[in-house]
Every structure is written in structure tokens, then in C-alpha cells.
Amino acid sequence: MRALVYQGPRDVQVIDMPDAAIERATDVLVKVTSTNICGSDLHMYEGRTAMEPGRILGHENLGEVIEVGSAVDRVKVGDRVCVPFNVGCGFCENCEQGLSGFCLTANPGSAGAAYGFAGMGPYNGGQAEYLRVPYGDYNCLLLPRDAEEKENDYVMLADIFPTGYHATELAGVRPGESVVVYGAGPVGLMAAYSSVLKGASLVMVVDTHKDRLKLAEKMGAVAIDNTEDTGVEQIMELTGGKGADRGCECVGYQCCGMHKEEVPNLTMNNLVQTVKPAGRIGVVGVFVPEDPGAEDKLARRGQMAFDFGQFWFKGQSMGTGQANVKAYNRFLSRMIEHDKAKPSMIVSHELPLEQAPEAYKNFDERKKGWTKVVLKPGT
């Protein structure tokens, strides 16, 4: 099969790889029809993770089931399914509690597994013609009848729509509240969108990319353009000097200052400043236990100079980590089915798999207009 393979920093290629196949009786084999490029792929693309060369990337996958293992009974050949980026077993202590992002058996010795992801198990990604889905009955979300017509909406259920929603859950967003979201990438936009869907009264989105901020406005949020480093001031002014009720971090460890230089503690400390006393912060942007490629000495060891005194003094709290996609994907899919949500509004490019390398390059450079790429293997 054709597949997008990580070769080394800023080097990905579409090459021939052995076909994905059923390996265990509980597996499902999917012919991938849509697979997105994610901001998480960029951490790997840039060589800022321990991703091994030779592996297939891609964790935001949707397609048609073409084969099922002998122990699969719910999922059938011909079903159209969206596959959460987490690989969960369904029977461990964490999966039982809905914490499918922290499965204890899918990546032994660690908590949490994913497709085509550094440090998250041996699973190959779906930026390819076929994908092996372990524990298929547990991991496949069966899509409704309008699956093909709304494919670009449903594929967002593999990661960014539930992840944006998860940020608002970690932050505890409730109707009528104010929310500040750092990052207007796909994840930040979905956190803003989820806040709007939950009935927040004021949603502010901080970034420097004007095209992305425009999309935030389209969703009903207020754009906070931080190009002149006035983001914090703008937020304090809009909230009457108090700060937002809730804050979402949707950038991660490679967050930048205005001149594109990495400042690893910037978004976290800005959140402490711009969230109100006793407010809550949800952090879904990825932070890593070690980052040998970082300029910053602390960051190399996965540490940061965090304003903990201020955080404590304000009595703030926070939630962090990978999204448990399965906790949300079913009800979010109903919002798509019943036209209450249209996450595809952020899709900027639909491209054949063969064009993935140039798509990575453009998305990585955050080129104007490259917000979210959906790859279409087999076209």
C-alpha cells in the first residue's frame, strides 16, 4: 500500500509499504478515505520527538471497514467508521472509567496509545491506504447514513473536535461563562467552537495568524491578535480587569513569542495572568517529559519556569493531558448528524495522499490559509 512515512526531521515521503492486515482476532481493517494532518504530527515532523524513522504517521482517520477479525461482532464489513486517535483496550481500569486516552494495556509500561505517534506504542498511522484498528469493536465509531456526505465533518471526530471539547471540559466551561483560548490552530478553534456550543457568553481566541483569527470570529469568538504583544491587556480589558472564568491551552510546548522564537512557558504563564482568581485552566496543547532539541535548558528536561506562586495565590486549578476521544465522539457525532455542528468549516485543503509531503511543509510553516488538511488516499 502507499503510505506517508517519517524519514527524519522535515522529511516525510509517500512510499510503498506492506499492506496493513488483521493481526489479532479483535482487529478491524479499514480502507482509509480521509486522514488529517494534525499539529501533533508537526512536533514529530520537526524532529522534536523520539519518533523512529520508517514509521507511518496519521492518527485522525476515517474509512470503510473491509475485513474483521473472528472475534469482532459489532463492526461489520461495509460500515463507515471514524477511529479515535487513542488506541484503547476497553477493559482496563482506565478504559472502564472513560479514560481511553490513558489505556493501561495498549502500550505496556505507559498509559495511553495512539496511531503513528512517538512514545505511544507500535501502532502504524492511517496516512495510508489501509489501517489496522486493534480492539475494533471498542475503537470504531459507526457513522450514520450521511457519513459520506459529511465526511469532512465526521473525520474531525478522530481528534480535534473531541480534543477541543476536552479542553473546555478540563477547564469546566459552563453556559454564560467567559473563556480565553490560547492558539487558533485547529485544536484552539475547536475549543472555541465547543465553548460557543456550550453557551459561553464571551469566547476570546489568542494568536498572531490573522487567517486563523478570522475563522475564530466566524465561530462567534472575539479575536485577540497578539502581534503587538497586547493579548493579555486586551483580555483583561474585555473582562473588566478580572480575567476570564476559564482558560484553554491549545498550543503546547513549542509555543512562541511574537518574533516566532520559542518561549516554552509563555502560554501557561499568560493563562495564569488572564484567568480569574479561582478560575480553571484546561491544557490540551502537548507538553513533553523531555525535549532534547529545545533551546531552553529547562525545557530540555521537560520543565518550565511556571508562575506557580501566582497560580496558587489566585487559587486556580488545572486539568491536563491527551483527550479521551471516546468520552465525547458519539454525542458530538449526533450534533453533526442533526446539523448542530459543522467542524469542517476549518478545512482549508483536501488533497490526495501523494501530495502529503508538500502539505506537511506548508502546514508546518503555518503558511497563510493552511489551517487543516484532509488527505484522501485512493484519489
Ligand X SMILES: NC(=O)c1ccc[n+]([C@@H]2O[C@H](COP(=O)([O-])OP(=O)(O)OC[C@H]3O[C@@H](n4cnc5c(N)ncnc54)[C@H](O)[C@@H]3O)[C@@H](O)[C@H]2O)c1
- Please give the backbone phi and psi of residue 212, each rounded to the nearest 5 degrees, phi first: -70, -40
Among Zn ion, ligand X, none, what does residue 103 contact (CB within 5–8 Å per kind)?
A: Zn ion
* Of residues 46 and 67, the one with the C-beta less far from ligand X: 46
Q: Minimal distance in Å, beta carbon 229 to ligand X?
A: 10
Q: H or E element: which one contains 330?
A: helix 329-337
Among ligand X, Zn ion, none, what does residue 89 contact (CB within 5–8 Å per kind)?
A: Zn ion
Contacts of residue 199, Cβ cutoff 8 Å, sequence gap at least 6: 174, 175, 176
Please, are residues 115 and 108 in contact by the beta-carbon 8 Å criterion? Answer: no
Stretch of residues binding Zn ion (CB under 5 A), selected from 155-163, 205-213, 232-240, 339-347:
155-163
Residue type, 375: L
- Please give the backbone phi and psi of residue 224, each rounded to the nearest 5 degrees, phi first: -115, 100
* Other beta carbons less than 10 A from residue 1's beta carbon: 18
- Please give the backbone phi and psi of residue 315, each rounded to the nearest 5 degrees, phi first: 65, 30
Among Zn ion, ligand X, none, what does residue 284 contact (CB within 5–8 Å per kind)?
A: ligand X
Tell me the three state secondary structure of residue 230: coil
Of the candidates 6, 5, 3, the one whose C-alpha atom is nearest the C-alpha of residue 130 is: 3
Residue type, 60: E
Residues 320-339 close enough to bind ligand X by CB under 6 A: 322-323
- Please give the backbone phi and psi of residue 264, each rounded to the nearest 5 degrees, phi first: -60, -25
Site string for Zn ion, 73-102 (x = CB under 5 A): ---------------xx--x--x-------
* Cell 509531503 belongs to residue: 357
Site string for ligand X, 140-179 (x = CB under 6 A): -------------------x---x----------------
Q: Minimal distance in Å, beta carbon 118 to Zn ion?
A: 13
Stretch of residues binding ligand X (CB under 6 A), selected from 36-44, 48-56, 330-338, 348-356:
36-44
Residues 246-265 close enough to bind ligand X by CB under 6 A: 250-252, 255-256
Binding site for ligand X (CB under 6 A): 38-40, 42-43, 159, 163, 182-188, 206-209, 212, 226, 250-252, 255-256, 266-267, 284-286, 322-323, 366
